Amino acid sequence: MVDLHCHILPGIDDGAQTVEESIELLSAHRKQRIRSVVFTPHFNFERTDIKTFCNRREKSLELLSASQEFIDLDIQVKSGAEVYFSVRLNEEELDPLCIEGTNYILIELPVTARPYGLTHTLRALLNRGYIPILAHVERYPYLAEDPTVLYELVMQGCLAQVNTGAILKDNERTAMAMKYLRWELAQLISSDTHSMTKRPPNIKQAMSVVENKLGGQYIRWLDKNSEDVFNGRYIDLPVVKKPKKFFGVWR
Ligand SMILES: [Fe+2]
């Protein structure tokens, strides 16, 4: 299995702070048979620039890679970023922010309101050959209120990821996460691991919940999708039905 979204690199954002913490998180991943991990520290155009971010990320990775315990874990890792949405995305060369060696770029949206230029900016990214992956898509109220917005983005070529933590809880976000998966409007699940207490590594538990609720075929599909993204392969998405509202409920 693969984790495409986590904050395990030491000392770079609000995730792991030390190499020891990173090792603990990666060991927990390894016990759940996670073989490949993309490190996706937060990137925000308001706070830094791509070059500075990449230098810090490289130093953090070097620190981790030098640890014998890390080598012993025998886990395949790639660099990436969780990029906060900005219309500036289309003014910059984004290859260094993509999942290493691929055109996939993980994008976080604001929670409070649909950002100005969302559809236009993502479409322009697609036209440039990038494939945006919308991070923890269950979090955004404006998508839950009108899932046809997500539908249109996915039909244009974007992917969407849900957090394992949302699947394992039992609240409104859980309900949306399961709906997005069932509708195949979300094609990826990832841990968004920050620490052993805040969003811990829990892909295995989340996968078994998905299996119980939606069936084994979803597990195989999700697994394959994550693997394809990790390896930079194109995912040929099925044509899905546009969500419709019946008696006040999106179905
Ligand atoms: Fe994240």
- Residue 213 Cα to ligand 1 midpoint, Å, equals 25
Neighbouring residues of the ion ligand 1, judged by CB less than 5 Å? 82, 192
Q: What is the CATH number of the domain that holds 109?
A: 3.20.20.140
**Domain presence at residue 246:** no
Decide if 248 is inside a domain: no
Q: What 3-state DSSP class applies to 19?
A: helix
Does residue 131 sit within a domain?
yes
Distance 196 CA to ligand 1 centre (A): 14
Are the C-beta atoms of 164 and 194 separated by less than 8 Å? no
Locate tokens 């996915």: which residue?
A: 154
User: Could you tell me if residue 250 is inside a domain?
Assistant: no
Q: Express each pLDDT in 152-181 by its tens digit.
A: 999 999 999 999 999 999 899 999 999 999
In a domain, 251, yes or no: no
> Where in the sequence is the domain holding 205, given as residue range(s)?
2-231
Say if 225 falls within a structural domain: yes
Q: Which of 62-66, 91-95, 235-239 has the lowest mean pLDDT?
A: 235-239
Compute, in angstroms, the gap from residue 91 CA to the centroid of ligand 1: 23
Helix 216-230 vs helix 203-214: crossing angle, to nearest 10: 140
Q: Ligand 1 centre and the CA of 246: distance in Å? A: 33
Residue 242 falls inside a structural domain: no
- pLDDT tens for 120-141 read 999 999 999 999 999 999 999 9
Q: Which residue has the tokens 């999106």?
A: 250
* Residue 83 CA, ligand 1 centroid: distance in Å: 9
Judge whether 172 lies within some domain: yes
Task: State the amino acid at position 90 in one-letter form.
Answer: N
34 by DSSP, 3-state: which? coil
Could you tell me if 172 and 139 are in contact, meaning their C-beta atoms sit under 8 angstroms apart?
A: no
Q: How far is CA 205 from CA 68, 183, 201, in A?
A: 29, 21, 9
Structural domain count, the chain: 1
Strand ranges in 55-193 using DSSP code E only, listed in sequence order: 76-79, 82-84, 104-108, 131-134, 159-163, 188-190
Q: Is the pTM of this model over 0.75?
A: yes
The conformation of residue 89, written as its DSSP 8-state character, comes to G
Q: How confident is the model at residue 25 (pLDDT cuts 50, 70, 90)?
A: very high
Render pLDDT for 54-82 as a digit per residue (tens, 0 to 9).
999 999 999 999 999 999 999 999 999 99
Please report where in the chains the tokens 């055109």 appear, as a residue. 103
Ligand 1 midpoint to CA 122 (Å): 19
CA of 136 to the centre of ligand 1 (A): 8
Residue 221 — very low, low, confident or very high, per pLDDT cuts 50/70/90? very high
